[in-house]
């Protein structure tokens, strides 16, 4: 029984040694308790620090360690895809290198797959301790909105940290899309998932790479990737404003017939023009988002480009 541990890394030179020490400790325990072998796949997403050098060093001292280094920064989604494609295990886990995804949960996750009828053991945080309140608020709102809009089951507080059977991994890899949103893909492919809850854990070292703006753009990526509801919303807004315009025309005609045609009212007219123009631009922006994603899909560019792997170091 081989477990593949996929770890996307971007500028994680400070956290990587701590992570390696902890995952090795858990691997030794699971070797004794479950007879499980491990491989650790570190995906260097174009880091600008010594992340790649540390991965090379770890591979030199531990044959279980593999690494993939991108030619530039392609994003975490590309790192997840590359790791899943490289994984050889019967079971594949994904986790971050900052130890916010506790490796100590792996035995419990594996037990759920071995002893219960589950294809995936996933994790979710029960709180957001340590996060700015405004960020937590918008995160909760995102989960509420996307679950109402799409068919994908995305659990509030869900992490990318999960352990999957090979058949679920193969199903995920069968989706060839360029614009990837893994949380949505996990829910879309289905399979029975057991959720394990844990209290939020602070980073062991280093700083988060996710600013509020990056998270906002990532949320837009998820909404556009898994629902066409914004397009329907734009259409409904267009119908609503057409109906409002018709009512206003009738009102103006009736008022003119009864009270004449006063010339006052230009401020309200300007406000109406600005409102209608804003709605039009909003609808065009929604349409533009879908056109942009379609444009990127039809270009068929690779999701990532590999610069180096452990095989190159051995050659």
Report the alpha-carbon distance of residue 71 to residue 307 in Å, rounded: 5
- Token pair, residue 99, equals 């130890």
Q: Residue 221: which of 179, 186, 189 has the closest Cα?
A: 179
> CB–CB of 147/153 below 8 Å?
yes
Contacts of 29 (CB under 8 A, 6+ apart): 107
Give percent of the chain with pLDDT exceeding 70. 70
Q: Where are the domains of the chain?
A: 2-227+301-314, 231-299
Report the alpha-carbon distance of residue 241 to residue 243 in Å, rounded: 5
pLDDT of residue 129: 64
Q: Count of alpha carbons within 13 Å of 84, Cβ hemisphere only?
A: 28
Q: pLDDT, tens digit, for every residue of 140-197? A: 666 666 666 666 666 666 788 889 999 999 998 988 887 777 777 887 787 888 888 8
If you ran DSSP here, which 8-state letter would residue 98 be given?
T
pLDDT of residue 143: 65
- Average pLDDT of 221-245? 69
Query: Can you say whether residue 206 is alpha, beta or left, with left for phi > 0 and alpha for psi between -120 and 50 degrees?
Result: left
pLDDT of residue 228: 64
**From the centroid of its chain, how far is CA 231?**
22
Q: Which of 47-61, 87-101, 245-259 has the lowest mean pLDDT?
A: 245-259
Average pLDDT, the chain: 78
Q: Which of 141-145, 196-200, 282-286 has the lowest mean pLDDT?
A: 141-145
Q: Is the pLDDT of residue 69 over 80?
A: yes
For residue 312, the surrounding DSSP H or E stretch is helix 310-314
pLDDT of residue 268: 63
Beta strands 158-165 and 91-94: pairing type?
antiparallel
pLDDT of residue 212: 58
Long-range Cβ contact pairs of 273-276 (< 8 A, separation 24 or more):
276/241
Q: Would the pTM of this model clear 0.75, i.e. be above it? A: no
Report the alpha-carbon distance of residue 2 to residue 153 in Å, rounded: 28
For residue 125, the surrounding DSSP H or E stretch is strand 120-125
pLDDT level of residue 102 (50, 70, 90 thresholds):
confident
pLDDT of residue 274: 67
CATH number of 2-227+301-314: 3.30.1330.60, 1.10.150.120, 3.20.20.70, 3.90.550.10? 3.90.550.10
Rounded (10°) angle between helices 212-226 and 229-259: 90
Q: pLDDT, tens digit, for every residue of 9-54? A: 888 888 888 889 889 999 998 888 888 899 999 999 888 888 888 8
> CB–CB of 33/3 below 8 Å?
no
Q: Is the pLDDT of residue 206 over 60?
A: no
Output the CA torsion sign for 100, 101, 104, 105.
positive
Q: Is the pLDDT of residue 127 over 80?
A: no
Q: Residue 100: which of 42, 33, 160 has the closest Cα?
A: 160
Higher pLDDT, 290 or 209: 290
Report the alpha-carbon distance of residue 291 to residue 288 in Å, rounded: 5
């Amino acid at each position: 029984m081989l477990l593949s541990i996929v770890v996307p890394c971007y500028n994680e030179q400070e956290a990587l040694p701590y992570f390696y020490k902890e995952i090795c400790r858990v691997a030794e325990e699971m070797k004794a308790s479950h007879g499980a072998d491990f491989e650790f796949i570190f995906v260097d997403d174009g880091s600008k620090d010594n992340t790649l050098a540390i991965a090379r060093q770890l591979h030199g001292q531990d044959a279980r360690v593999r690494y993939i280094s991108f030619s530039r920064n392609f994003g975490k989604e590309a790192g997840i895809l590359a790791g899943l494609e490289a994984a050889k295990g019967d079971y594949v886990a994904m986790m971050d290198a900052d130890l916010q995804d506790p490796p100590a949960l792996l035995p419990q996750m594996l037990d759920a797959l071995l002893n219960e009828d589950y294809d995936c053991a996933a994790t979710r945080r029960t709180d957001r301790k340590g996060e700015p309140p405004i960020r937590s608020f918008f995160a909760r709102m995102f989960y509420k909105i996307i679950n109402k809009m799409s068919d994908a089951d995305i659990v509030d507080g869900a992490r990318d940290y999960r352990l999957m059977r090979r058949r679920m991994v193969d199903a995920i890899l069968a989706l060839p899309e360029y614009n990837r949103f893994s949380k949505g893909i996990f829910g879309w492919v289905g399979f029975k998932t057991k959720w394990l809850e844990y209290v939020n854990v602070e980073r062991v070292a280093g700083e988060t790479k996710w600013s509020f703006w990056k998270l906002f753009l990532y949320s837009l990526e998820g909404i556009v990737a898994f629902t066409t509801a914004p397009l329907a919303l734009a259409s409904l807004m267009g119908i609503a404003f057409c109906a409002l315009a018709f009512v206003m025309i009738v009102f103006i005609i009736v008022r003119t017939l009864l009270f004449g045609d006063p010339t006052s009212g230009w401020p309200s007219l300007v406000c109406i023009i600005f409102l209608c123009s804003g709605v039009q631009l909003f609808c065009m922006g929604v349409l533009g988002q879908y056109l942009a994603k379609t444009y990127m899909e039809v270009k068929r560019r690779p999701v990532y480009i590999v610069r180096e792997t452990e095989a190159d170091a051995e050659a």
